[in-house]
Amino acid sequence: MTIPWAHLGGWLGVVHYLACVSPQLGSVLYHLFMNHEGGPTVYHTLLTLDMCGVCMVNTLGALPIIYCTLACSPLPRTAALLAYTALSSYAILCAVTASSNIRRLRSFAWQALFRFFFFYLRWVGLGTGHPSSLRLYLIMDGLALLGGVINISRVPERWKPGRFDYWFNSHQIMHVLVVVSILYLHWGVVADLLWVTSYTCTQD
């Protein structure tokens, strides 16, 4: 509800909204129906939906970042957006066919490296964007990575089996960190989108 729709034109606001909502919907459906009597077929369908939600936030969430980083370079911007979309298509294929949580986490590594390249462009002054956004994006990816590592390492339940079956297990901690991560994504993108509506590129 805090997206400044009145100040935005085009597709960037819609893409960002979908990025923030998609993983929540996929995850809720997966966890709500994962014990369905339909068995493995239903379970794997729900897991695929959950992974699609994760890929949506990774893919759609980065598009406004790329757009604003290359706001004054139309051709490289278009090429980067297309390349990231293609890379994301491969990532979701790897994620939904992964045989373990570790492989599933690794499926998104190339997307993260792609994003960090654009963070680097901003850091060295070759990219554009709101001055506060880079810090927010770094916190976002840091929290998401921490959540993924905690989830696959099964901490803290591996230290006290049975004690964390209902509360404070690794999967719950991961979900909390991911939600906070998406908040940082939202704050960074909103700042960028407001910035790009008023920024004028200089002619070199």
171 is in an annotated binding site: yes
CA distance 153 to 198: 45
175 is in an annotated binding site: yes
CB within 8 Å of 32: residues ≥ 6 apart: none
Tell me which H or E stretch contains 33: helix 12-33
The torsion angles phi and psi of 157, rounded to 5 degrees, stand at -65, -20
7 is in an annotated binding site: no
- Using an 8 Å Cβ cutoff, are 137 and 188 in contact? yes
Alpha-carbon Rg of the chain, whole angstroms?
A: 18
Binding site per annotation, positions: 31, 171, 175
Binding site per annotation, positions for Zn(2+): 31, 171, 175
